[in-house]
A = this chain, B = another copy of it.
Amino acid sequence: MPSTINNQQWIYRQHPAGIVGPEHYELREEALSTNLSAGEVLLQSRYLSVDPYMRINQSLKPTYNELPHALNTVQSAGVVAQVLASSVEHLKAGDWVEGMLGWQTHARVHHSGLRKLDPELAPVSTALGVLGMPGRTAWFGLTESGRPHAGEVVVVSGASGAVGSLVAQFAKRHGCKVLGVAGGKEKCDWLRDTLHLDWAIDYKTHQSADTLSQEIKALTGGVDVYFDNVGGMVTDAIIPLINRRARIVICGSISQYSGGLDTVELGPRFLHHMLYQRATIQGMLARDYVHRMDEMLRIVGPMVKRNEIVFEETVVQGFAHLPATLNRLFTGNHVGKLLVEV
């Protein structure tokens, strides 16, 4: 192996005021030393993740992090990579791992930050989806905060996304009646025909939260669990429909990520509905369940191996397309997990 390797990196250069795109990033090349210190592993990235939370990290206001993602550093991201060289026994050249390697083609990192993958269990790309952070978010968000019971009505916003599509399927397995809300006919057809949800609504066919609310009420009668990935108009429509002791899980507010986290957006004051129904809103984050990853994998892994879970992936080819693919999260029409393969 040569003493250095050409490493391409996407550098986060500029805060996006609205939609994020290539103009906020710069492609850089560096000569990465292949010389391994004790405990280190040399990796080649194969699947790089784009996730909505990346836009939270870029917000200029305090979020779950004290400071926004540092400018002029590699965009942080989950990556599935293959081992090129290793200084540790349990990882060998050719092995698959997952870790927060960032948007770069190669990385030399300490092994302790890596999760070794079993390619026999499922395609390794699932370590960024159903068997990774989105799967963990969906599983624990639904089971710990949503606490669904058979016969209850579960509504999922962003239902065709990486997390939403899993929440919807997990809720079906709990014996719930599930409504998926998504944008566009194609996504809604997929929710009904492929995920076999009880109902799907294209929120884009509604001009106002009021008519959306009426349609949701007509279909469901009322909502016991609302798993919210989106916020905004969809949430405005659902909150007046909550049933007694409803659980509202705040997993994301994607509708606000393109500027709305930095600049105050207005919406209806709804806290009186919480009072009327003695309902609960709970915010949750994937990071709170990192230590319970084994528990999720023990349950969801076999479901995936038995082909009982639809885990659609939209895979874009080429490292060059990373920033544009991040943009697609907020403007595109993909379903399931969006990934870049190199």
Contacts and interface: CB of A to CB of B under 8 A. Distances in A.
Interface of A: 56, 62-64, 228, 231-232, 235, 250-253, 256, 260-261, 264-269, 271-285, 288
Nearest to A274: B283
B283 A276 contact: yes
A214 to B, nearest CB: 14
Nearest to A280: B282
Tell me what chain A mostly uses at the interface: helix, strand, loop, or mixed. Answer: mixed
Nearest to A275: B283
B282 A274 contact: yes
Given A253-B275, A274-B281, 19 more contacts: A56-B275, A228-B271, A231-B271, A231-B272, A232-B269, A250-B271, A252-B275, A253-B271, A253-B272, A256-B269, A260-B269, A264-B268, A265-B268, A266-B268, A275-B285, A276-B283, A277-B283, A280-B282, A281-B282
Nearest to A246: B283
A186 B265 CA distance: 35
A282 B280 CA distance: 4
A55 to B, nearest CB: 11
Contacts of A268: 264-267
Contacts of A62: 276
Q: How many identical subunits does the complex contain? A: 2
B269 A250 contact: no
A19 to B, nearest CB: 17
B269 A231 contact: yes
A64 B276 CA distance: 4
A150 B275 CA distance: 26
Contacts of A278: 282-285, 288
A84 to B, nearest CB: 37
B235 A271 contact: yes
A273 to B, nearest CB: 8
Contacts of A253: 269, 271-272, 275
A277 B63 CA distance: 8
Contacts of A276: 56, 62-64, 283
Contacts of A284: 275, 278
Given A266-B266, A268-B266, A269-B265, A279 B275 contact: no
Contacts of A271: 228, 231, 235, 250, 253, 281, 283
Contacts of A272: 56, 63, 231, 250, 253, 256, 261
Contacts of A231: 269, 271-272
A277 B235 contact: no
